[in-house]
Amino acid sequence: MARYDIAIIGTGPAGVSAAITSVIRNKSVLLLGSADLSAKLKKAHEIRNYPGFAAVSGETLGAAFAEHLSSMGIEITEDKITSVYAMGDYFALQASSGLMYEAAAVILATGVIAGKPLEGEEELLGRGVSYCATCDAPLYRGKEVTVIGYSPKEEKEAAFLSEVTAKVTYIPMYKEEPQLPGSVVIVKDRAMGIGIQDGRRVVKTAGEPIVTDGVFVLRESVSAGQLVPGLATDGTHVLVDLQMKTNIEGCFACGDIAGRPYQYVKAAGQGNVAALSAVDYLDAKKRN
């Protein structure tokens, strides 16, 4: 497998900026995220504090970012990373597609997720709660699982689980009508929390609780601490120094995930710093 110099997770202003600087510094880059770049960029009606643009819509600024990337031949790999493993002298990135990517350095530019984890979710993670259907499905062969899906994109994972497990219950946390195989039981209720009952797991809802063997919580993004095992965070943000270094050697963070204020130009600026720090890290490693 090709091992990239730098893997950048996220295609908001932080990730885009980090990718541009990394490529200018002649590093091979894997830029992971979405062809739409960032929902937070798309949503802004008028941005008045991005130098070079007196007043610009998020849509227009995003198009300029996309143009900048393509003019440099930087492609976006549309895949969601579920785990980043610090292997010592490289990082292994598990993606929800089932693919595993490798890079010598990693830049986290994932933005922050709105909303708190469900009650019991973090306590039970790895003990009957999972974030990755493709990874953990074999654990639940012949068992009953419940999927809490936060977007229609997660229906694919639920369909996959229904092929492996005895029963899948799906709780859509959105308004659209789920499109799922007939064997999947759809419960239109709000998941409120996860607990333990007689050695099994139970999903608390506004209505009847659902007793199950395993719970898959599938969101667009997971928190940074869950994404990178061993990463030091304050709960919401990754702890970084002024060089955007995290506590894990070779792992850097920038943009909203690295702390407030939440601003485009700050995200882009930190992306630049993170890229330069990653370049320094790689160059120092090569010398040793």
Partner 1 sequence: MVRKISQEEFKDVLASKVALVDFSAVWCGPCKMVAPVIEALSDELDGQVDFFNVDVDDCPEIAAEYAIMSIPALILFKDGKSVDMKVGFRPQAELAAWIKGELN
Ligand X SMILES: Cc1cc2nc3c(=O)[nH]c(=O)nc-3n(C[C@H](O)[C@H](O)[C@H](O)COP(=O)(O)OP(=O)(O)OC[C@H]3O[C@@H](n4cnc5c(N)ncnc54)[C@H](O)[C@@H]3O)c2cc1C
Task: Provide the binding-site residues for ligand X, judged by CB under 6 A.
Answer: 9-15, 32-34, 37-38, 40-41, 43-44, 47, 49, 80-81, 109-111, 221, 227, 255-256, 262-265, 267
Pick what 10 binds: partner 1, ligand X, none; C-beta below 5 to 8 Å, kind-dependent: ligand X
The amino acid occupying position 229 is P
Residue in 14, 37, 86, 203 binding partner 1, rule: CB under 8 A: 86
Query: Are residues 279 and 267 in contact, defined by beta-carbon separation less than 8 angstroms?
Result: no
| 123 is a site residue for partner 1 (CB under 8 A) | no
Which stretch, 36-44, 126-134, 146-154, 163-171, contacts partner 1 (CB under 8 A)?
126-134
Alpha-carbon distance of 60 to 72, in angstroms, equals 19
Query: Are residues 101 and 4 in contact, defined by beta-carbon separation less than 8 angstroms?
Result: yes
| 72 is a site residue for partner 1 (CB under 8 A) | no
CA atoms within 13 A on the CB side of 145: 32
| 90 is a site residue for partner 1 (CB under 8 A) | no
Smaller CB separation from ligand X, 96 or 212: 96
Q: Which of 273, 270, 255 is nearest to 41 (CA)?
A: 255
Query: Are residues 42 and 36 in contact, defined by beta-carbon separation less than 8 angstroms?
Result: yes
| 241 is a site residue for partner 1 (CB under 8 A) | no
Q: Taking the complex as a whole, how short is the minimal distance between the CB of residue 196 and partner 1, in angstroms?
A: 10
Alpha-carbon distance of 226 to 235, in angstroms, equals 10
Query: Are residues 8 and 107 in contact, defined by beta-carbon separation less than 8 angstroms?
Result: yes
Smaller CB separation from ligand X, 140 or 264: 264
Q: How far is CA 90 from the centre of its chain?
A: 19
Residue in 92, 239, 265, 282 binding partner 1, rule: CB under 8 A: 92
Smaller CB separation from partner 1, 128 or 178: 128
Residue in 21, 77, 83, 205 binding partner 1, rule: CB under 8 A: 83
Residue in 46, 183, 230, 243 binding partner 1, rule: CB under 8 A: 230
Pick what 57 binds: partner 1, ligand X, none; C-beta below 5 to 8 Å, kind-dependent: none
Pairing of strands 91-95, 100-108: antiparallel
Let me know the angle formed at the C-alpha of 96 by 216 and 221, rounded to the nearest 5 degrees. 70
Give kind and range of the element (H or E) at residue 269.
Answer: helix 264-287
Alpha-carbon distance of 133 to 159, in angstroms, equals 10
Please enumerate in sequence order all residues whose Cβ is within 8 A of that of 287, keeping only pairs 6 or more positions apart, or say none. none
Pick what 249 binds: partner 1, ligand X, none; C-beta below 5 to 8 Å, kind-dependent: partner 1
Please enumerate in sequence order all residues whose Cβ is within 8 A of that of 283, keeping only pairs 6 or more positions apart, or say none. none
Smaller CB separation from ligand X, 158 or 267: 267
| 275 is a site residue for partner 1 (CB under 8 A) | no
Pick what 88 binds: partner 1, ligand X, none; C-beta below 5 to 8 Å, kind-dependent: partner 1
Binding stretches for partner 1 (CB under 8 A): 83, 85-88, 92, 94, 126-128, 132, 135-136, 138-139, 229-230, 248-249
